Amino acid sequence: MSTETATPVTPAPVWDVINGFTSYWALSAALDLGLFDALAQDDDSGTGLDASQLAAAIGAAGPGPVSVLAETLVALDLLAAVEDRFRLTPAAERYLVSTAPASMAALVRYSPGPPGAWPGLADTVRTGAPEPTVTAALTELYPALVRATGPTQAGVATAVAAELQRRGWWPEQPTIVDLGCGSGAWLTALLRTRPKGTVIAVDLPNVLPIAEQAATDAGLREQVIAVAGDYLGVELPVAEADVVVLAHVLRAEPAERARQLLARAVELAGAGGVVVVVDYTRPDPARARHDGDGEDRGAACIAARHELLLSLTMLASTAGLGVTVADLRAWAEAAGAELVDSFEPVPRQHVRLIRSRTPEATS
């Protein structure tokens, strides 16, 4: 019911969502056209390119369509406009130029998962799981997806090695188990700090060769034992490890499989090892239910917008519901371990350290 003095309710949140779709495709088109790379090549002069020059550089029909696209990117804070010229913003220079070390250019394409997952999201919510064809499409997409996330994960892994060293949890010749090793970014970064260590690298058969190649390229192939199969059930050549890595895998699994996977990792870490979990955790609904001491659920959701959208991305293409910190605590506890610490070495990359509750771990 509205009154004369009530603030008008604006449709802005709805437009923001509609425009989110359009913005995504504006950025995708710019990447497909090599627009950011073309502007990066003009860096020498530093003055940028006008619409005609930009059109010529990217093979566009003329300045008209390029202006609409480039001005939209300016509005999205992904380009700067100075007089009649377009230039890269610092964020575009760092994250959207394909050759930049921290480039997210490929991630823009692959991060949303298989495109076919999204039109079926309502059905996935109805039934609890996407169509098998969607899950199969994700498996096919994994090689490209893990390659795209490799640079970020290498940075996280390097920071984790430094943290383990600081804590005295990083032996000279560690045995490491990397469950869902993806691009091999983790294992190469970890082995670079411990070239005499050994990594048991586990992944699906269509992805594992990427990690093996990364190890070969880094001159570390002899240190890696590659195991193809389901990380939950596949037989491993070791019973214990100093470090077990679960990076960006738990949220893609249904809760029971995620619990079992963490239990497997805890068992492998034994009394003296550490399980390293990296994931985008969504807010814990149970915490918000307790009046008084719980966080406000709305505020928690707004603060975790990024993590929630990534959890939804998983739901759209797997039966995974994402993971909460409370899940991690409960699963760790059920396996005889505890969440001992967490830190964020790279923005939005939350690392959780889980260790056994036995005396050896706490001494």
Ligand X SMILES: C[S@@+](CC[C@H](N)C(=O)[O-])C[C@H]1O[C@@H](n2cnc3c(N)ncnc32)[C@H](O)[C@@H]1O
Residues binding ligand X (CB under 6 A):
142, 146, 149, 153, 180-183, 185-186, 202-204, 207, 230-231, 247-249
Q: Which pair of structure tokens corresponds to residue 330?
A: 């409960």
Nearest distance from C-beta of residue 129 to ligand X, angstroms: 15
Nearest distance from C-beta of residue 342 to ligand X, angstroms: 16
Nearest distance from C-beta of residue 97 to ligand X, angstroms: 22
**DSSP secondary structure string for all residues of 73-89:** HHHTTSEEEETTEEEE-
Q: Which is nearer to ligand X, 48 or 130 (CB)?
A: 130
Chain position whose Cβ is nearest to ligand X:
182
Q: Which is nearer to ligand X, 54 or 226 (CB)?
A: 226
Residue 224 phi/psi, 5-degree rounding, is: -115, 130
Looking at this protein, which amino acid is placed at residue 255? Answer: A
Q: Which pair of structure tokens corresponds to residue 65?
A: 């369509």
Nearest distance from C-beta of residue 3 to ligand X, angstroms: 50
Nearest distance from C-beta of residue 84 to ligand X, angstroms: 42
Q: Which is nearer to ligand X, 53 or 153 (CB)?
A: 153
Q: Is 203 helix (H, G, I), strand (E, B) or coil?
A: strand
Nearest distance from C-beta of residue 186 to ligand X, angstroms: 6
Q: Which is nearer to ligand X, 19 or 111 (CB)?
A: 111
**Strands across the sheet with 243-247, in order?**
224-228, 198-203, 175-179, 243-247, 274-278, 349-356, 337-346
Q: Which is nearer to ligand X, 142 or 169 (CB)?
A: 142
Q: Which pair of structure tokens corresponds to residue 321?
A: 């519901």
Residue written as token pair 């949890």: 169
Alpha-helical runs (H) found in 218-304 = 255-269, 285-289, 297-303
Q: Which is nearer to ligand X, 186 or 331 (CB)?
A: 186
Nearest distance from C-beta of residue 236 to ligand X, angstroms: 12
Q: Which is nearer to ligand X, 130 or 182 (CB)?
A: 182
Looking only at the bridges linking them, the beta strands covering 349-356 and 274-278 are antiparallel
Beta bridge partners of 276: 245, 353
Nearest distance from C-beta of residue 197 to ligand X, angstroms: 17
Overall residue count recorded for the chain in this entry: 363
Q: Is 350 helix (H, G, I), strand (E, B) or coil?
A: strand
Residue written as token pair 């970064």: 189
C-alpha Rg value of the chain to the nearest Å: 23
Cβ-proximal residues to 22 (8 Å cutoff; 6+ apart), any chain: none
* Run of H or E residues at 345: strand 337-346
Residue written as token pair 């003009």: 42
Q: Which is nearer to ligand X, 69 or 211 (CB)?
A: 211
Q: Which is nearer to ligand X, 49 or 277 (CB)?
A: 277
Q: Which is nearer to ligand X, 35 or 104 (CB)?
A: 104
Nearest distance from C-beta of residue 112 to ligand X, angstroms: 13
Nearest distance from C-beta of residue 103 to ligand X, angstroms: 15
For the four alpha carbons of 82, 87, 90 and 91, in that order, the dihedral sign comes to positive
Across the chain, which distance is largest between two alpha carbons, in Å?
75
Residue written as token pair 């860096």: 43
Q: Judge contact between 180 and 211, C-beta under 8 A.
A: no
